[in-house]
């Protein structure tokens, strides 16, 4: 991912202002260490820090139309850029960059071009013909973006909060799936999928359709001119990403210019569940596997850097970001600049263990919708910023727009967790890839139970964090927490410790408001309590404490011999409809 910073309509267009914009843009250099660019037009500045993934030789930004009347700075990847170029046959392109289509699309379609982009992006476009500008963010918020306002009436747009927090009177998160136009002066939602409505989906579960949609989402993300790999924890989601990627590379004559053998990466403490499972998956898929170890002290020493880069004080996010931050540095040291990761599956399919307690399909679906809409504040934030801290790009196929449309159109009755019918969490996804004739994964990996990333890297990690925080936060500090931090008051010593660090880097009131409320919001504690009152006794957001449904011994839930005998290859699966015989459609 790259880093963008735009200052639009400021009262000062002097050389001193240009130097200040350059100084602030350098705060984003970790996101794009390959090149930097700045375009000034009067009182508007568009800057860019580039991480070169596609067309590294000539794709520097900002980008322009033919006569340079339209200027664009973009952080993202446009996966359908080749198809869009064909539609723009009357235009001349300066580079081979996937983002080079944006200025020309705007010429042809105005602000409506945003919905034509298949990819992830945060962008600012300046139209010098009428001195207007627009900013837009991708559908789910995979790329980070913030917007701020100066006392002089200027509008500031930045990939990270640190690019504008010292110079804006007020700033906030730029909402995903929205566009901000200077012509209107407010946000407008451009992403309006059918699942946003209150209507509960009713389409029958089609496992082959789901599988094909995910394979397409993965394959389109192999668009790269630099070395890449996959993040592999050994859990269902990352293992499916790796399996589809490895199968695609092996099925092509030359794979990519980097060969047909996939590189995979895993991080964990010595003896952690993830390291063991990831190695098994890597051996099964034949990847070149890289295993990175860290200690509790390594993680604790990195906490301040993690909070500075990830820009949050949310407990769960920081716990999971730290191992990912450490791993990203190792991956970049190997010369890899892009990885594919498995974020988003749990939100789409109700994979978190408290979904076991969902009372009906309506509430199940509504909670998945709420979780997807909040991803930009949690898992997307973590995956993007903890990797971008080292100039590494993470791509997330589960959050592909087309795949989400397919997955969220399934009648949620199929997603419900029903042990009596042999359905564990994310059963519809597991079943879609349960191919007896040409297996994607071993059964016990395909049916491995959900493990929080911060738990899977080693249970000692969370315990070590708590112990460290207890040494630095006293009981008296906790007693007065509501006076020191009246907004989102921390309720644990660990949360207090993170908050102290965060506010040292970001003391502005606007900064603390960008983080969602409460230490356990990421685990949907409120909804979990509503579904099962026993959850109220658990203040820790870790998945290992989830309602007594977690299998502590990591016992894989594989199909029983009876169910296995009744199963069949999903490559020949018929359309599944309600009322179908359980013995033909269900595998535990």
Q: Of all residues in the chain, what percent carry a pLDDT higher than 90?
A: 78
Instruction: Report in angstroms the alpha-carbon separations of 166 from 135, 156, 170, 171.
Output: 21, 11, 10, 10
Check if the beta carbon of residue 78 is closer than 8 Å to that of residue 121.
yes
Instruction: Report in angstroms the alpha-carbon separations of 244 from 109, 214, 217, 248, 274.
Output: 35, 9, 10, 6, 19
Q: Is residue 566 part of a domain?
A: no
Chain centre to alpha carbon of residue 463? 26
pLDDT at 551 over 80: no
Among the candidates 167, 192, 217, a domain finishes at 192
Instruction: Report in angstroms the alpha-carbon separations of 414 from 91, 197, 213, 275, 451.
Output: 47, 19, 18, 31, 22
Q: What is the pLDDT of residue 568?
A: 31
How many Cβ atoms sit within 10 Å of the Cβ of residue 305?
16
**Where is average pLDDT lowest: 14-23, 174-183, 433-442, 445-454?**
445-454
Q: Any idea what the CATH number is for the domain that residue 25 is in?
A: 3.60.20.10
Q: Is residue 583 part of a domain?
A: no
Check if the beta carbon of residue 417 is closer than 8 Å to that of residue 425.
yes
pLDDT at 5 over 50: yes
Q: Are residues 187 and 276 in the same domain?
A: no
Alpha helices for 434-551 (secondary structure H): 443-446, 453-456, 459-472, 475-479, 481-484, 493-505, 509-513, 525-531
Q: What is the pLDDT of residue 256?
A: 58
Q: What is the pLDDT of residue 317?
A: 96
Q: Are residues 270 and 299 in the same domain?
A: yes
Instruction: Report in angstroms the alpha-carbon separations of 218 from 68, 156, 223, 402.
Output: 35, 34, 10, 12
Structure tokens at 176: 């995903």
Q: Are residues 499 and 421 in the same domain?
A: yes
Among the candidates 192, 223, 257, a domain finishes at 192
Q: Are residues 274 and 252 in the same domain?
A: yes
Q: What is the pLDDT of residue 96?
A: 86
Structure tokens at 39: 């375009």
For the segment 220-228, the average pLDDT, to the nearest whole number, is 94
Q: Is residue 586 part of a domain?
A: no
Instruction: Report in angstroms the alpha-carbon separations of 516 from 311, 312, 513.
Output: 12, 9, 7
**Where is average pLDDT lowest: 337-351, 435-449, 456-470, 520-534?**
520-534
Q: Residue 70 is inside which H or E element, if any?
A: strand 70-78
Q: What is the pLDDT of residue 533?
A: 77
50 — alpha (psi -120 to 50), left (phi > 0) or beta?
A: beta
| Ordered strands of the 44-50 beta sheet | 35-41, 44-50, 3-8, 155-158, 146-149, 170-173
Radius of gyration of the chain (CA): 24
- In residues, how long is the chain? 588
Q: Per the structure, how many domains does the chain have?
A: 2
Check if the beta carbon of residue 484 is closer than 8 Å to that of residue 511.
no
pLDDT digits (tens, 9 = 90+) for 244-274: 999 999 987 545 566 678 999 999 999 998 8
**Where is average pLDDT lowest: 287-296, 303-312, 538-547?**
538-547
Q: What is the pLDDT of residue 402?
A: 97
Torsion of Cα atoms, 213 then 214 then 215 then 221, to 10°: 110
Q: Are residues 209 and 248 in the same domain?
A: yes
Q: Are residues 136 and 212 in the same domain?
A: no
pLDDT at 552 over 80: no
Q: Are residues 25 and 126 in the same domain?
A: yes
Binding residues for ATP: 231, 267, 341-342
Q: Are residues 182 and 255 in the same domain?
A: no
Q: Is residue 276 part of a domain?
A: yes
Torsion of Cα atoms, 443 then 446 then 452 then 453, to 10°: 100
Query: Strand 338-340 vs strand 228-231: parallel, antiparallel, or unpaired?
Result: parallel
Choose the catalytic residue: 2, 10, 44, 168.
2
Cα–Cα dist 211/240, whole Å = 10
For the segment 315-338, the average pLDDT, to the nearest whole number, is 96
Q: What is the pTM of this model?
A: 0.90
Q: Is residue 571 part of a domain?
A: no
Q: Are residues 80 and 221 in the same domain?
A: no
Q: What is the pLDDT of residue 569?
A: 36
Binding residues for L-glutamine: 98
Q: Is 2 part of the annotated catalytic residue set?
A: yes
**Where is average pLDDT lowest: 241-255, 317-331, 470-484?**
241-255
Q: Are residues 405 and 369 in the same domain?
A: yes
Among the candidates 192, 223, 254, a domain finishes at 192
Cα–Cα dist 570/211, whole Å = 9
Nearest to 430 by CA among 413, 442, 438, 419: 442
Q: Any idea what the CATH number is for the domain that residue 374 is in?
A: 3.40.50.620
Q: Are residues 237 and 163 in the same domain?
A: no
Structure tokens at 374: 């909040």
Backbone angles phi, psi at 56, to 5 degrees: -65, -20
Evaluate the CA torsion angle 588, 201, 439, 399 in order and state its sign: negative
Q: Are residues 338 and 464 in the same domain?
A: yes
pLDDT at 40 over 60: yes
Q: Is residue 479 part of a domain?
A: yes
Q: Is residue 422 part of a domain?
A: yes
User: In which domain, by residue range, is 13 found?
Assistant: 3-192
Instruction: Report in angstroms the alpha-carbon separations of 209 from 35, 79, 230, 364.
Output: 41, 21, 24, 22
Q: What is the pLDDT of residue 46?
A: 97
Q: Is residue 44 part of a domain?
A: yes
């Amino acid at each position: 991912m790259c880093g963008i910073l735009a200052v639009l309509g400021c009262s000062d267009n002097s050389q001193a202002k240009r130097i200040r914009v350059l100084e602030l843009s350098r705060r984003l250099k970790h996101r794009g260490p390959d090149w930097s660019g700045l375009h000034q037009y009067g009182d508007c500045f568009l800057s860019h820090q580039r991480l070169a993934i596609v067309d590294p030789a000539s794709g520097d930004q900002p980008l322009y139309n033919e006569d340079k009347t339209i200027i664009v700075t973009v952080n993202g990847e446009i996966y359908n850029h080749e198809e869009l170029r064909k539609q723009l046959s009357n235009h001349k392109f300066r580079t081979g960059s996937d983002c080079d289509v944006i200025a020309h699309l705007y010429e042809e379609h105005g602000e409506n071009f945003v919905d034509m982009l298949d990819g992830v992006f945060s962008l600012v476009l300046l139209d010098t013909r009428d001195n207007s500008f627009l900013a837009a963010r991708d559908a789910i918020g995979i790329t980070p973006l913030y917007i701020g306002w100066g006392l002089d009436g200027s509008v500031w747009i930045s990939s990270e909060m640190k690019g504008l927090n010292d110079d804006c009177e007020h700033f906030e998160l730029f909402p995903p799936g929205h566009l901000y136009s200077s012509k209107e002066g407010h946000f407008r939602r451009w992403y309006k999928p059918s699942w946003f409505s209150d209507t509960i989906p009713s389409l029958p579960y089609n496992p082959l359709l789901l599988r094909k949609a995910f394979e397409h989402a993965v394959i389109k993300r192999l668009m790269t001119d630099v070395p890449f790999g996959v993040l592999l924890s050994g859990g269902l989601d990352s293992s499916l990403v790796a399996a589809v990627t490895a199968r695609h590379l092996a099925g092509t004559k030359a794979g990519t210019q980097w060969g047909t053998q996939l590189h995979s990466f895993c991080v964990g403490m010595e003896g952690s569940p993830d390291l063991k499972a990831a190695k098994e998956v890597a051996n099964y898929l034949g990847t070149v596997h890289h295993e990175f170890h860290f200690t509790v002290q390594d993680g604790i020493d990195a906490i301040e850097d993690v909070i500075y880069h990830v820009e949050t004080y949310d407990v769960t996010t920081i716990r999971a970001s730290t191992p990912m931050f450490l791993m990203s540095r190792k991956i970049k040291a190997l010369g890899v600049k892009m990885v594919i990761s498995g974020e988003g599956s749990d939100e789409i399919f109700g994979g978190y263990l408290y979904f076991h307690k969902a009372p009906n399909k309506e509430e199940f679906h509504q909670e998945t919708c709420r979780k997807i809409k909040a991803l930009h504040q949690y898992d997307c934030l973590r995956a993007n910023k903890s990797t971008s801290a080292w100039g590494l790009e993470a791509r997330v196929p589960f959050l592909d727009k087309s795949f989400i449309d397919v997955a969220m159109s399934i009648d949620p009755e199929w997603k419900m967790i029903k042990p009596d019918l042999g359905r564990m969490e994310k059963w519809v996804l597991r079943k879609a890839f349960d191919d007896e004739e040409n297996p994607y994964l071993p059964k016990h990996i395909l049916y491995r139970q959900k493990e929080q990333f911060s738990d899977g890297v080693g249970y000692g990690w969370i315990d070590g964090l708590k112990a460290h925080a207890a040494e630095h936060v006293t009981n008296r500090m906790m007693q007065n927490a509501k006076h020191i931090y009246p907004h989102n008051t921390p309720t644990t010593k660990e949360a207090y410790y993170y908050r102290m660090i965060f506010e040292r880097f970001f003391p502005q009131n606007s900064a603390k408001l960008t983080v969602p409320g409460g230490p356990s919001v990421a685990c949907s504690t409120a909804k979990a309590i509503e579904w099962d009152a026993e959850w109220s006794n658990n203040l820790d957001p870790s998945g290992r404490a989830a309602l007594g449904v977690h299998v502590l011994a990591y016992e894989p839930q594989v199909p029983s011999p009876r169910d296995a005998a009744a199963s069949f290859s999903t490559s020949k699966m018929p359309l599944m409809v309600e009322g179908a015989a359980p013995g033909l459609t269900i595998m535990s």
